[in-house]
Amino acid sequence: MDNSVRTILEYAKELVKQKVTGAGDCISIKSGDCLYFSDKDVPLSELTEKNVIKMKPEEATGEYALHKKIYDAKEDISAICHCHPAWVAPIAECGIKIPSVADDMTQIVGRDCKTCKNDEKAIVKNLRKRNSTLVKGDGCITTGRTMNEASTCVLVLDKAAHCYVGSAVLKKNALINFFEATLMNVVYKMKYSKKNQENLQNEEGN
């Protein structure tokens, strides 16, 4: 079993353990000139080695073609998670954004996470300068330099969505301002996570 297949199986198991999965999930890795996908028709909870698909980018269709287009638009990433966390779903369905409600969201996701319509062009556009987007009626898509980074983003989004919904009900939204959110995200990416992600890229690839 090569490292990319092993990585997909490992993180599929972790996402299921963290209860951020749902119908239609698909995670992928770009390694060399090939793409590796979890079979979109198989729940991550049931994923086995035979359900990890390896293909050339030009062979990708449907959900897999969407991942391919995201990779083309973001040359610095090597992993994508398209997941359906329970707390994210209602926010995505409403077509609103999750603002900066916690430090970890600000550092890992950025100052907010917007919702776009369920359309390839809209999704790719929303992800060009961001590592995540909510998709109306279809969960969230996160990207990362590694699968560790992309999957962590899913966990953080689910937590942030939970906090946002809860604070909205209580009418006590304590948001991080635009300048602080932008600065925290830049510092995190440039200083704290760069070396760690470089090490993980070596471990997750072939």
Instruction: Write the DSSP string, 108-152.
Output: HT-SEE-EE-S-HHHHHHHHTT-SEEEETTS-EEEEESSHHHHHH
Please tell me the predicted confidence (pLDDT) of residue 129. 86
Give the pLDDT mean for 103-117: 81
Q: Which two tokens stand for residue 60?
A: 């990708």
Q: Please check the confidence at residue 191 and state whether its pLDDT lies above 70.
A: no
Buried b (16+ CB within 10 A) or exposed e, 70-103: bbeebeebbbbbbbbbebbbebbeeeebbbbbbe
- Of residues 205 and 157, the one with the higher pLDDT is 157
Name residue, tokens 């550092």: 107
- CATH number for 80: 3.40.225.10
Q: Please check the confidence at residue 171 and state whether its pLDDT lies above 60.
A: no
Query: Do residues 46 and 173 lie in contact, with contact meaning Cβ atoms separated by under 8 Å?
Result: no
The pLDDT mean for the chain works out to 83
| Helices 62-73 & 120-127 angle (0-180, nearest 10) | 30
Name the strand (E) or helix (H) holding 83: strand 79-83
pTM value is 0.82
Q: How far lies 153's CA from each of 28, 57, 124, in Å?
A: 14, 24, 17
Residue 206 resides in a domain: no
Residue 79 resides in a domain: yes
Number of domains in the chain: 1
Please tell me the predicted confidence (pLDDT) of residue 44. 97
Q: Please check the confidence at residue 183 and state whether its pLDDT lies above 70.
A: no
Boundaries of domain holding 49: 3-201
Residue 95 resides in a domain: yes
